[in-house]
Amino acid sequence: MTGKAEFFERIRAEVVRGRGAALGTTALRPGKARERLDVLRRELSERWRENLDRFGREFERVAGVLHRVGAADEVPGVVARIAAERGMRKVVAWPAATLGLDVVAPLAAQGLEAAAMPGADVDGRERERLRAVAAAADLGVTAADVAIAETGTLVLVSGAGRPRSTSLLPSCHVAVFDRDTLVESLLQMGLVLEAWHEGAEPSWRGAAINFITGPSRTADIELTLTRGVHGPKEVHAVFVEQGIRAHRA
């Protein structure tokens, strides 16, 4: 087996031999990414209406469905309606701390089988059980940490109280977001990613960041577009006008 030292020695020798073959520059990385992001967010907060409209247009182009409500307590009603229209019964959701509201009690009151995922570490056996619950669910409710207007993309950071399976295993995914999560472009998202990785990482942070741009799709059989091959067949985004108070990345 090749060892690390030997592997790198060959690469180093070739890099020296190839020096000057062509020139290039990497993207200019913003120093103090967090400070810059704060400045950007203040600017964006003045343009949130345009950005929400643009997000909505792009999200619908990728077959997402956008809902708008005034206050957070209207969200369970939207989820219940989506479930009822499709004859869905089982719901899993992020806990109130990361979602910004409790959906489980109001949904249960409407006769749905709703379960909240845990907000802290659980043992292996419990993880297995919860995974089975998520796999059996029809609908998963999460928050979104960022919504990218240019592409109609929802960005979800995994971690404590932010399971990845909620947005992946059920056939319908509903994500809740507000104006503070909106950015305009992928390049702005680059700054967000830099800021998230600046300095020590918070202890709640998980190992995955997922960009979700509409429902799962494939065109692998005769280029016929088909949705829901592995991930959700439907993705809904619920915009809360008055904002939500949740833990956010």
Partner 1 sequence: MEPELATPFRERAEHALGDRFLQEALTIATTKFITLRREAFAELPEGEALRDQARAIKEATLQRLDHWLERLVENVEGRGGRVHYATSADEARAIVLDIARRTGARLAVKSKSMATEEIHLNEALEAAGVTPVETDLGEYIIQLAHERPSHIIAPAIHKTKGQVAELFARELKRETVPDPEVLTRIARGELREKFLQADLGISGANFAVAETGTVVLVTNEGNGRMVTSLPRVHVAVMGVEKVIPSMTDLAVFLAILAKSATGQKLSVYTSLVNGPRRGGELEGPEEFHLVLLDNGRVRQIAGPLRESLNCLRCGACLNVCPVYRQIGGHAYGYTYPGPIGILLTAMLNGSESVKDLAHASSLCGACVDACPVRIDIPRMLIELRKDVSEGGIAPWSERLVFRAFAWLLRRPALYRLGARLGRLAQAPLARGGRIRRVPLFFGEWTRTRDLPAIAPRTFQERWAELEREARR
Chain positions 88 to 117 lying near partner 1, rule: CB under 8 A, are 117
Is residue 194 within the footprint of partner 1 (CB under 8 A)?
A: yes
- State the DSSP code for 192: H
Taking residue 41's Cβ as centre, other Cβ atoms within 10 Å add up to 16
Distance of alpha carbon 178 from alpha carbon 245, whole angstroms = 10
Token representation of residue 213: 């741009």
Point out which span in 68-76, 79-87, 138-146, 186-194 binds partner 1 (CB under 8 A).
186-194
Q: How far apart are CA 165 and CA 95, in angstroms?
A: 14
- Residue from 39, 49, 226, 245 touching partner 1 (CB under 8 A): that is 226
**Judged by CB under 8 A, does residue 222 bind partner 1?**
yes
Q: Among 31, 87, 199, 224, which residue interacts with partner 1 (rule: CB under 8 A)?
A: 224
Dihedral angle sign, alpha carbons of residues 56, 57, 62, 63: positive
Q: In angstroms, what is the minimal distance from the CB of 249 to partner 1? A: 12
The Cα–Cα gap between 218 and 70 comes to 35
Min dist CB 73 to partner 1, Å, is 27
| Distance in Å, CB of 59 to partner 1, minimum | 11
Q: Based on CB atoms, which residue is closest to partner 1, 76 or 214?
A: 214
Binders of partner 1 among residues 28 to 87 (CB under 8 A) are 28-30, 58, 62
Structure tokens at 118: 């845990």
What is the nearest approach in angstroms of partner 1 to the Cβ of residue 28?
7
The answer to whether residue 7 forms part of the interface with partner 1 (CB under 8 A) is yes
Least CB distance from residue 68 to partner 1, whole Å?
22
Q: Classify 128 as helix, strand or coil.
A: helix
Of 103, 189, 244, 246, the residue at the interface with partner 1 (CB under 8 A) is 189
How far apart, in Å, do the first and last CA atoms of the chain sit? 41
DSSP letters along 28-73, please? -PPSSHHHHHHHHHHHHHTSHHHHHHHHHHHHHHTT-EEEEESSGG
Residues 107-166 that bind partner 1 (CB under 8 A): 117-118, 120-122, 127, 130-131, 135, 150-153, 158-161, 163-165
Q: Among residues 179, 216, 238, 249, which is the contact residue for partner 1, using CB under 8 A? A: 216
